[in-house]
Structure 1
Amino acid sequence: MAHYRASDSKRGAVPEVPGERSVLDSLTVLVSLYEQPEKPSNALDFLKQQLGAAGEEMEETQALRQELARLTEQCEVLGEENKDLRSRLQRYEPAPDAPPPAAE
């Protein structure tokens, strides 16, 4: 007796990865870029924003910019402190290549 098996419509289809956009969604974004009356100045930023990657990246970028500003300020403060300490050290210790003071 032959058994009839209905064809599986999803057979051979590539399963979608959760959290990932499909190729069709990505192409739709490209079409929307093409149809824009005024093209954005930065197409890459437009694509990132439309695909949803811009939000996470912007938050991370903002945090990194804040950390960079803090570290730059700290580096300047430490540079000034280093310069001050070097000048104070020069007053108390002669340079290593300077001749020793003459004994009387």
Structure 2
Amino acid sequence: MTSTYRPNESKREEFRRYLEKGGVVDAITRALVALYEEAEKPNNAAEFVRRFMGATGPDTAEMETIKNELMVTREKYEELLRENETLKEKLQKYEGGQ
């Protein structure tokens, strides 16, 4: 049982050293300290950490707005496609009649 435990432990240790060497541990620690020191804790701690660490991109509320806008845009697109087909049919009737 020890032989199966040791490789896992050495892999964990190797991974820990990798994270430390890459500055990941320090970056996460700084983000967590900043969150701890916030006077008013944010509703979404994970979002705070992402933003603190420089993640660029929309937050959850912005994503919801973007999704809704996309849905409305898709509906409008489908409506315009149907209208376009109707107009093409009408145009063919008038052009074909001449």
Structure 2 length-normalised TM: 0.44
Higher alpha-carbon Rg? 1
Bigger relative contact order (CA 8 A; separation at least 6): 2
Structure 1 length-normalised TM: 0.42
More helix by share: 2
